Amino acid sequence: MPQIKKILFPVDFTSATDKILPLVKDMVNAFNAKLYLLHVVRSPEEFAGFEMGPAWYAALEKDLVEGAEKSMRRLVAEQLEDIKDVETQIEVGDIVDTIVENVEKNDIDMIIIGTHGRKGLEKVMFGSVAEGVIKDAPCPVLTINPHKIKE
């Protein structure tokens, strides 16, 4: 059985993150693993073809990254104070590609990702992140539907 020593949990700071996090903590503790948290800010290129184009989004990128850094610090301070080994990252890019690159760069053993995703037109435009990660990840991926977690 492969050793699970590094677990990646991509976060989007929604209520789904909060619902899934207790299960992530259980897995980290069960395996005595290091937890990697990653938030990916969409790159402006993903908005090419939209009416306003990527230029308006590029102007917001700095604010989005700073907001994500603040949210990440709060998440760690408020919900992960009992996890001893946590590394956080905020990156800009394609979400699926950035997650997979992070797995390879950090030699991640397992990804835990929510399946809540998007609906309707947004799913058509951006696709399913969990689905893309499952297809491209070089390690096991545990998917969790936050709406099915019993509280």
Region 86-109: what's the mean pLDDT? 95
* CA Rg value for the chain: 16
Residue ranges per structural domain of the chain: 6-148
Tokens of 38: 């990653």
pLDDT above 90 (res 80): yes
pLDDT digits (tens, 9 = 90+) for 15-46: 889 999 999 999 999 999 999 999 999 776 55
3-state secondary structure of 141: strand
Region 142-150: what's the mean pLDDT? 83
23/57: higher pLDDT: 23
Tell me the percentage of the chain whose pLDDT exceeds 90: 56
- Among 81, 63, 8, which Cα is nearest to 39's? 8
133/124: higher pLDDT: 133
82/120: higher pLDDT: 82
Tokens of 2: 């492969």
Instruction: Report residue 78 CA to chain centroid gap.
Output: 18
72/115: higher pLDDT: 72
The overall average pLDDT reported for the chain is 84
From the options 1.10.10.60, 3.40.50.620, 3.40.50.2300, 3.40.640.10, give the CATH code of 6-148. Answer: 3.40.50.620
- The pLDDT, as a whole number, for residue 126 is 46
